[in-house]
């Protein structure tokens, strides 16, 4: 009898294998054209067993959409003699140009702080490393300032309860891209979490790109920076001269 019980226990332990995530995105390409006012992406998918059947236990789902990383120079403003001037500054090595996270429950109820930091699950846990030595308190102040600025412009987002899960198989989350969303390759990561442990993850990509006249101007500016600068100065001077002539005729 004891032998049978041991065999059943062993089968239960080996049979409870981690699920497989099958993610998908409603749009793999987002075109930024004139008049673009933003769009909404639907991130969805399924949780299955390795055999392809329905997952047998409850999982929390966290979805993260992250834009290309970039270095960012941050400067603080100080008011001196009634004027705002640049004061302290720092440069962050790899800040995401866009970051959005949606979860089936609050992150604090799903994982501990260590796991959240490892997988960067939340704005609080973004790894915004500075270039060079910096005081930890000053680094925290600059990082908080960057996060707050990007939250107000819609480039950083958090949606607790933004993921819906049906019958422990299908999940979906809606994430908005603002009108000023940066171009580049975006990574959509999905995490299945059980008892505070990430048991499965999968990712897909979204390309945000400019089209039409905006794309031609952007490519010209990137490939011929000096000529683009001269052209911009010429257009500004010409517009100023034209405006002056028009006002002189009134």
- Strand segments (E) across 178-236: 184-194, 197-210
The answer for residues whose C-beta is within 8 angstroms of residue 32's C-beta and 6 or more apart is: 181, 183, 208, 209, 210, 211, 214
Given pLDDT bands bounded at 50, 70 and 90, which one contains residue 25?
A: very high
Number of C-beta neighbours around residue 179 at 10 A: 11
Q: What is the pLDDT of residues 194-238, one digit of tens each?
A: 999 999 999 999 999 987 544 445 444 455 555 546 555 665 666
What is the distance between the alpha carbons of residues 18 and 193, in angstroms, rounded to a whole number?
A: 10
pTM, two decimal places: 0.74
């Amino acid at each position: 009898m004891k032998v049978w019980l041991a065999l059943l226990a062993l089968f239960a332990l080996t049979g409870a294998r981690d699920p497989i995530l099958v993610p998908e995105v409603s749009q793999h390409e987002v075109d930024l054209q004139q008049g673009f006012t933003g769009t909404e992406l639907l991130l969805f998918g399924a949780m299955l067993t390795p055999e392809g059947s329905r997952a047998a236990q409850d999982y929390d789902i966290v979805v993260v959409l992250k834009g290309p990383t970039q270095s960012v120079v941050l400067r603080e403003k100080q008011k001196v003699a009634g004027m705002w001037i640049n004061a302290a500054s720092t440069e962050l090595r790899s800040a995401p140009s866009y970051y959005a996270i949606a979860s089936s429950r609050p992150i604090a109820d799903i994982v501990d702080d260590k796991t959240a930091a490892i997988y960067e699950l939340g704005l609080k846990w973004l790894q915004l490393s500075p270039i060079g030595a910096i005081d930890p308190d000053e680094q925290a102040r600059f990082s908080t300032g960057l996060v707050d600025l990007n939250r107000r412009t819609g480039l950083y987002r958090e949606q607790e309860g933004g993921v819906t899960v049906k019958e422990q198989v299908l999940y979906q989350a809606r994430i908005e891209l603002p009108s000023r969303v940066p171009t580049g390759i975006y990574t959509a990561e999905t995490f299945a979490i059980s008892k505070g442990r990430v048991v499965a993850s999968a990712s897909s990509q979204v390309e945000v790109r400019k089209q039409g006249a905006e794309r031609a101007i952007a490519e010209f500016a990137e490939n011929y920076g000096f000529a683009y600068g001269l052209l911009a100065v010429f257009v500004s001077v010409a517009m100023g001269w034209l405006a002056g002539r028009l006002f002189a005729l009134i």
